[in-house]
Amino acid sequence: MDEVLRLKEFEERIESGQVIEPKQWMPDRYRKQLIRMISQHAHSEIVGMLPEGNWITRAPSLRRKMALLAKVQDEAGHGLYLYSAAETLGVERHHLIDQLLCGTAKYSSIFNYPALSWADIGVIGWFVDGAAIVNQTMLAKCSYGPYARANLRICKEESFHKKQGYEIIATLAEGTPKQKEMAQDAVNRWWFPTLMMFGPPDSDSPNSAELMKWRIKLKGNDELRQRFIDLTVPQAKAINIKLPDPQIVFNEQTGHWDYSPLNWQEFYEVISGKGPCNKERLKARKQAHENGRWVRLASEAYASKKQIDNLA
């Protein structure tokens, strides 16, 4: 069947809401866009463990430690689901990991900010996982089967991540003045970087139009950002936490919360490697990869021994 006909048939499948599976024909651009997005998503899950992992030994109680341990473990699993989804597109996992380790692969901007206090762990759960839920709930309905199913599984665990974070902040907000101050300080530092997690304004997005044509993205960056803000403002009010934006006002016309323009220069600096923690995160990932070398060698040796035994 010629290329034009195959592309027409593919686009009809997409328009009729069909899910594309790995063995079905797909345009190269569709495959490339998915590999780009899924690999960044997977890297984000793995790098996202770093700021939280640093606080496991400093959790204020056994209950908080267990919840954080479970969350960090979940994030590792999310990374594995997503690397597996990327592999269905014909890319090797170690190739993606090499790109991350040599600094050529992106991961979410948000993980290049420091987690300075225990309250940051609460805000990461409440804001970052809250934003990820808004994004991933959409991706769970995307046109590529393995990615949609990976996001469906991820979303089931994210709600626990968000709830445990919100509970940490709600507890601190009702605590001593020092605890309330710690919670407010973390909220002040993470609010705007979280809004930038959704990507640049649609008008500046080189990928959104193509991704929406192929129903990989069902909503634009601005709509998802607004959804997150509309969900989070009432949650902050409920626990007497002030969001650090004086322009957050309910707009009766639109039915949404207005907010201040974001600092996109900071965003582009962070995603081009000049964020507060980019170097530290990459160094930690390289160290972890080095520390895991013996495990990879042992499993390869085991696998080849199994093969030899099977041949005998």
Q: Which residues, including other chains, have CB under 8 Å from residue 184's CB and lie 6 or more apart? A: 173, 241, 242
Q: What is the DSSP letter of 258?
A: E
Least distance between ligand 3HC and beta carbon 305 (Å): 37
- Identify which of residues 181 and 202 has a Cβ nearer to ligand 3HC in the complex: 202
- Identify which of residues 118 and 193 has a Cβ nearer to ligand 3HC in the complex: 193
Least distance between ligand 3HC and beta carbon 205 (Å): 4
Q: Alpha-carbon dihedral of residues 186, 73, 283, 92, nearest 10 degrees?
A: -130
CA distance 55 to 213: 41
- Identify which of residues 63 and 156 has a Cβ nearer to ligand 3HC in the complex: 156
Q: Would you tell me how many other CB atoms lie within 10 Å of the CB of residue 8?
A: 12
Least distance between ligand 3HC and beta carbon 300 (Å): 29
Least distance between ligand 3HC and beta carbon 4 (Å): 27
Which structure tokens are listed for 42? 């997977």
Least distance between ligand 3HC and beta carbon 38 (Å): 7
Binding residues vs ligand 3HC (CB under 6 A)? 36-37, 40-41, 44-45, 48, 75, 78, 106, 108-109, 128-129, 132, 135, 158, 197-200, 205-208, 211, 221, 271
- Based on the number of CB atoms within 10 Å of its own CB, is 45 exposed (0-12), middle (13-18) or buried (19 or more)? buried
Q: Would you tell me how many other CB atoms lie within 10 Å of the CB of residue 100?
A: 22
Which structure tokens are listed for 53? 């992992």
Least distance between ligand 3HC and beta carbon 199 (Å): 3
- Identify which of residues 26 and 180 has a Cβ nearer to ligand 3HC in the complex: 26
Q: What is the DSSP letter of 275?
A: S
- Identify which of residues 106 and 149 has a Cβ nearer to ligand 3HC in the complex: 106
Kindly write down the DSSP assignment for every residue of 276-291, as one continuous string: SSHHHHHHHHHHHHHH
Distances (CA, A) of 98 to 36, 132, 301: 14, 25, 21
Kindly write down the DSSP assignment for every residue of 98-166, as one continuous string: HHHHTT-S---GGGGS---SHHHHHHIIIIIIHHHHHHHHHHTTSSBHHHHHHHHHHHHHHHHHHHHHH
CA distance 302 to 297: 9
- Identify which of residues 181 and 218 has a Cβ nearer to ligand 3HC in the complex: 218
Least distance between ligand 3HC and beta carbon 307 (Å): 36
- Identify which of residues 108 and 117 has a Cβ nearer to ligand 3HC in the complex: 108
- Identify which of residues 109 and 232 has a Cβ nearer to ligand 3HC in the complex: 109
Least distance between ligand 3HC and beta carbon 174 (Å): 25
